Structure 1
Amino acid sequence: MDEENPRIIELRVSNHRAYVWNVDDLALLRSKHRVCGVLSGTLPHVSQQNVFLGLPLMLIPEEVVLLVEKQLAVLVDDPSAHRKPSRGALENWNTERKASVKTQLAAETRGAKEDLATSRSRSMSEDAVRKRKAREEKRAAAALAKHLAEGDIEGSSELPTPEMASLSQPPSTPQPELTSLSQATYIATVPGWGFAVASHMVQHAARAGIWSYPANAHERAKCNVFRDLWEKGHFMGGGIKFGGDFLVYPGDPLRYHSHFVASVIDSRSAPIAPMEIVAHGRLGTATKKAHLLCTWDEEKQEVSYYSVEWAGFG
């Protein structure tokens, strides 16, 4: 990938959720941009299970805002991205499809006739070989009877035998294997597909009605905390299972356990209940993590972090 002109990733938005459908984009997000997302699609051969999932990759809203603000991705309105083809284009496509079907049927019929002719020719040639072999064996037997009658069997090296007669036959020509045309696969593409709306800014996507995050102070604080942790080199994931907003990893989650559970507080003056602090400390320590209380200062445009851990007494 060109460092000066990085690849722009297409985030397909449907029902205000962003998805990545290109496997190359998925690899680029994880290896280059430290964005993991969550696989949400079933695998073709194991569609009944829900442990190992595949494309599409669904991104959390903070990941989407980060990628768009960093100019690494664009938001594409997926429902309107597939433009309806014109009537003329549909008629042309339908005409071409019918012509293709006729060509396939003609080729299949011609192949069937050739198979039948080849089979008949092969059966006739095999009958001729059998008759010729029978004549040679009959001739050899007659010669053998003649030699026996004359008493000149000893010392004769030119006596024909059925085995020698069969060796003198010319080898039969192998028949080529014919491939059935009915097993061929034909793919037709409907014309007229393309992007309808592609937004390079979150504000533009919001005005177009395809994206609505962040919509309040708490969501803006979460986006800013997420970006600050990302800029510090961390990987992030959803932290709802551990009582927070994000899980903070020192490296790829496939290789490392998370070190922190981050909870976002709108501002430094926002109240927090003491029992909530105790719960965060106990849960974080029980899961071998430290709990981060992250506050966003709108005036200073900076994030403050407070680490909470449970400590034993006595």
Structure 2
Amino acid sequence: ILVNIQQQRGLIFDADDYFTLRNDHRIVGNLIGIPASHPRNVNQHGLPAVLSCYELKLLLEKKLVQLIDKNEAFMAAPIDSQTERFVNMTQQQKEELRKPVIEKRLESFRKHLPRIIEGKRQKLIKAGQNLEGITPERLLQDERDRLSTESFDTLLQLPTKHPLEVDCSFLPLHLSAEETLKFRVFKALWTEGGYITVGDAFGCDFLLYPNDPLYFHASHMVHVLKDKSKRLDLKYLIRMCRLAIVVNKLCVIAYLDERYDSVVFETLEWEGNANKPD
């Protein structure tokens, strides 16, 4: 799967690739585009999808994606062959859009054909002309010929994925020390199952879901400690716990245990949220 790097962000433009990552590998990303089916709905988003650096790092380790840069090719003027291919593709789209419109018009014409024939016969009788040319087949063919030359309003598709092959270069991924620590936490969570997204909206590092976030709410808020030896600020701890209670989630603190070189998770439960005996 090819991931386009633009403005230091990894973008997925292909729908099949995105569903493969989401359904088979539990990589959700963040949809930032406008869905073609609901262009005016601000509550729904579509492709492209932005992948976080942690998701990209995990996918690179699993050898599921490659990072590519097409910016130079996109900024260059298209060559003649690319222009010709795009014009032909656009013309083909217009013809494909015309066919169902013509068939719909012909279907409506067939439905009213008896009345149309009767009306034409009455006109020819009044004019004293021959009625031999008034047949259903002849009228249907005349209508088809007329529609084939008529212009219709067409909607030109703007593909999300670039339809033409262009040159690209492959890029590496570099993480800072803080991002590397958070990636280890992300990888540990992903290995245990479930879906993980970034938790900026809830003031945490990650949100953990029992299944696809499209159908489930997050169950855990994960905070990553940069330095486990540093004393945890009490006010910060209270804020984390109370926020978790307000949004009905469990508060989890994650840190790296250097003795065993492994990620440790601690679940915090506020006293007002703990089970108390009657």
Counterparts in 2 of 1:1-314, with a 5 A limit?
9-44=1-36, 46-82=38-74, 84=76, 89=81, 93=84, 130-131=127-128, 172-174=134-136, 175=139, 176=141, 177=143, 178=145, 179-181=147-149, 183=151, 193-199=165-171, 205-206=172-173, 212=174, 214-215=175-176, 217-297=177-257, 300-312=260-272
Q: Distance in 1 between matches of 2:163 and 2:37?
A: 30
* Unaligned stretches of 5+ residues in structure 2: 92-119
8 Å contact from structure 2 (residues 69, 169) kept in 1: yes
Give, as a single letter, the amino acid of the residue that structure 2 aligns with 1:70.
Answer: K
TM-score calculated relative to the size of structure 1: 0.62
Q: Describe the SS at the equivalent of 2:183.
A: helix
- 2:205 partner letter: D
Residues in 2 aligned to 1:70 and 1:247: alpha-carbon distance in whole angstroms: 22
Quick one: structure 1 residues 182 and 68, their matched pair in 2 at CA, closer, same or farther if it must change by over 3 Å? farther
Alpha-carbon contact 1:218-1:265 (below 8 Å) kept: no
| Residues paired across the two proteins, number | 232
- After TM superposition, give the deviation of residue 229 of structure 1 in Å: 0.3
What is the CA–CA distance in structure 2 between the aligned matches of 1:294 and 1:93, rounded to whole Å? Answer: 55
3-state DSSP class of the match of 2:207?
strand
Q: Distance in 2 between matches of 1:86 and 1:43?
A: 27
CA distance in 2, matches of 1:172, 1:86: 53
Q: CA RMSD in A?
A: 3.7
TM-score, normalised with respect to structure 2: 0.70
Structure with higher Rg: it is 1
- SS for the counterpart of 2:31 is strand
The answer as to whether partners of 2:70 and 2:166 remain within 8 angstroms in 1 is no
Tell me how far 1:84 sits from its aligned partner: 4.5
Deviations along 1:204-237, one digit per CA (max 9) or x if unpaired, are x24xxxxx4x12x211111110011001102011
Give the 3-state SS of the residue equivalent to 1:244 in structure 2: coil
Separation of aligned partners in 1, 2:202 and 2:80: 57
